[in-house]
Amino acid sequence: MKSAPKGAVVSASLPKGEKKREKAEERLITVYIMGKAYQVPAESTIMGAIEYAGHMIVRGAGCREGYCGACATIYRLPGDYKIRTGLACMTLVEEGMTLAQIPSVPAEKAIYDIEKLKPNVSAIQETYPVVFRCVACGTCTKSCPQGLQVMDYVQAAKRGDITAIMDLSFDCVSCGLCMLRCPAEITQPLVGILGRRLYGRYLRKESAGLAERVLAVNAGAFEAEYAEMMSMSREDLSKLYYARDSE
Ligand code: SF4
Ligand code: SF4
Ligand code: FES
């Protein structure tokens, strides 16, 4: 993150000609970014506030919509002892918030050959024996910006319940905030990935729908639609994306 020009409190610059009008309309609040005070719009996300304050985010931003997990943030609120966690692109700023970005959390990633593992507790013992150090404190669950029952999937890993790991960790975006706070230094997102891989390789049911769709793709059923999309402007593609059916 590159820093903005020096100054005790920075009112970030607005587009030319709009400064007065925007200032009249927007309520500004003070937040502290890497220890320095800035005035930012009260309705901003943390990510929007950081950029409004003049910082260029060069690490720690990806999808900007809560999917990629690149924008982990820790923060404190005034008069509150708690260190809170959130995704910068999804969490709104609050008056007096003190922010620090955590674009990645160092982790020891196990190297394994999925073909040589079995979908039971032996796979966990071989790859991530650290899960057996879990003291069931619940800090990981409290830290998860996705609202996942992280402790429960760690417990499932201890039992070798691969289906439960897959189910409970399915919406993990690998932000790393849980492992950052874990007193047993467990790498929860990596355990979740292992569980989902084991499930996909050994336990999932065959999907008839998938087989049919692969046949249709190979038969060229979507060629015309694909060619049309490739010729669309970015704007039209964006409209199409947001108008899509999604679960
Ligand atoms: S389980 Fe951990 S890594 Fe995954 S989204 Fe929740 S806090 Fe982030
Ligand atoms: S934070 Fe760590 S020790 Fe605590 S419940 Fe989660 S995995 Fe277990
Ligand atoms: S930028 Fe992707 S989750 Fe925030």
Q: What are the chain's domains?
A: 9-101 (3.10.20.30), 105-233 (1.10.1060)
What integer pLDDT is reported at residue 246 of this predicted model?
A: 76
What ligand 2 atom has the least distance to the C-alpha of 185? 2
Residue-wise pLDDT for 51-97, tens only, equals: 999 999 988 999 999 999 999 999 999 999 999 999 999 999 999 99
211-230 pLDDT tens trace: 899 999 999 999 999 999 99
Q: Confirm or reject: Cβ of 175 under 6 Å from ligand 1.
A: yes
Residue nearest to atom 3 of ligand 2 (CA): 134
Q: Over the stretch 171-202, which tens digit does the pLDDT of each residue have?
A: 999 999 999 999 999 999 999 999 999 999 99
Q: How far is the CA of 145 from the centre of ligand 1 (A)?
A: 7
pLDDT at 28 over 70: yes
Whether this prediction's pTM lies above 0.95 is answered by no
Q: Distance (Å, rounded) from C-alpha 10 to C-alpha 30? A: 9
Which atom of ligand 2 is nearest the CA belonging to 139?
1
Half-sphere exposure in the Cβ direction for 207 (13 Å, CA): 9
Residue 82 burial class via C-beta count within 10 angstroms: exposed 0-12, middle 13-18, buried 19 and up: exposed
Any atom of ligand 1 within 6 Å of the Cβ of 148 = yes
